[in-house]
């Protein structure tokens, strides 16, 4: 039996929350690097759909890891933050300038 789209969205939100708690509490530098690389593979639609959750993860990771990790992690953090910003706000900026 297939899940209704609403149920699937709710399920995904709960899964993201559970995964997020695990990710945040037990993340090594190598795992953080992979998470940040994967973050940039999300589509614009996926980023918008999970914007609040993703932005909270980025903020947490930035505050926890940015100054204490090597330059590679800092670079990946900056790139992920830029991707999030681009996915959320670039279409609006383009439409305002036209």
* pLDDT in 10s for each residue of the chain, 98 residues: 444 445 545 555 555 555 555 556 567 888 888 889 988 999 999 999 989 889 988 998 898 888 886 889 999 999 999 999 999 988 666 665 55
The neighbour count for residue 76, using CB atoms within 10 Å, is: 21
What pLDDT score does 10 carry? 56
Q: Which of 98, 67, 71, 80 is nearest to 39 (CA)?
A: 80
Domain count, the chain: 1
What pLDDT score does 17 carry? 57
Domain enclosing residue 20, as ranges: 5-97
Q: Which of 39, 23, 27, 38 is nearest to 81 (CA)?
A: 39
């Amino acid at each position: 039996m297939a899940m209704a789209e609403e149920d699937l969205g709710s399920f995904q939100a709960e899964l993201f929350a559970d995964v997020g708690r695990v990710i945040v509490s037990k993340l090594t530098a190598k795992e953080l690097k992979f998470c940040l690389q994967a973050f940039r593979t999300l589509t614009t639609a996926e980023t918008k759909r999970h914007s609040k959750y993703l932005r909270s993860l980025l903020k947490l990771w930035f505050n926890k890891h940015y100054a204490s990790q090597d330059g590679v992690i800092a670079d990946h953090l900056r790139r992920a933050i830029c991707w999030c910003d681009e996915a959320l706000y670039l279409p609006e900026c383009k439409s305002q300038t036209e």
